[in-house]
Amino acid sequence: MSKKKDIHVVPHQDGWATRKEGASRAGSVHRTQKEAQQKAGEQAKRERVEVVTHGKNGKIRDSDSYGNDPFPPKDRKH
């Protein structure tokens, strides 16, 4: 069983936040979703985990794997 803790990009009262899976507090807070995604991507590369991006409504809209995922998610063309 994997003990990896993916990083989520979620809406925050001050913009957008990065939050490690299972954490109750934000790791970092950013003005834009793009800034939060960049920070999450840097951290995910170091920790070899996945970045899960949520929309304003809280639903998952995308995920990118930076680890040794045997079944990586396929990026969709928009």
- In this predicted model, what pLDDT tens digit does every residue of 36-70 receive, in sequence order? 999 999 999 999 999 999 999 999 999 998 876 66
Q: Would you list the domain boundaries of the chain?
A: 7-59
3-state percent breakdown (helix, strand, coil) of the chain, nearest 5? 20, 35, 45
The pTM of the full predicted model, rounded to 2 decimals, is: 0.82
Cα 78 from Cα 19, distance rounded (Å) = 25
Report the amino acid identity of residue 18. Answer: T
Query: What is the number of residues in the chain?
Result: 78
Cα 29 from Cα 10, distance rounded (Å) = 10
Please report the pLDDT score of residue 3 as a whole number. Answer: 74
Please report the pLDDT score of residue 1 as a whole number. Answer: 46
Please report the pLDDT score of residue 43 as a whole number. Answer: 96
